[in-house]
Chains A and B, each alone.
Chain A
Amino acid sequence: MSNLEKLTKAGIVDPNHLSDAEKKTVESLSDDEVNCLISVKGKAQAAGIAAAPKII
């Protein structure tokens, strides 16, 4: 499974909203980075942290 597929399946990214350059960035991630993203963003989503204004 590609990184893009893993992150899409985890609900972390939507490939329809990623540019080709962003997809290359996603595919360049190591397994550790992919797993870390899935972990932290999964927790954020579970906590209801949605898109919000930029923090300071």
Chain B
Amino acid sequence: MTLLRTMAAGSLALLILVGCADGGARAWIEASRAQSEAAAAADDVAQARAALEALLALEVPSTVAEDDARVIRQDAHERLGRLWLAQGDGARALAEVQRGLVLGEADDIFTANLWVLRGRVREARGEDSEAAADYHRALLIHEHLLSLALGDER
């Protein structure tokens, strides 16, 4: 009887833990979205940067798929990098690109945006051939996405 009670309590704790874990993933997505929208609606660069940094400071729950976290965080790094580049700080822009690429690469528009931004930074530095290589990587991903988009429409 005691064993049955123990097992019942364990099962209840298990359900609560699983429930909290899923809630943590959703809470992270919602908080990230809120910061992303705050950055888009920001009146100035400082506000936008603060919102994106707040997004990146959010701890990713273990229940979030690694690739989902990559997509969200690559987007934030790319937007931060663009803000730095617009202010003429190529080094910080490049650092954001590197932080984004460390998360992984995929044939999606989020990774493509990082290649484009790195090309822009290198182009601004006069590193034309390196910039061309980055643009070429972005081009290949766009071609893949275009074929997907057109195939999806047929």
Do A and B actually bind? no
By a beta-carbon cutoff of 8 Å, the part of chain A in contact with chain B is none
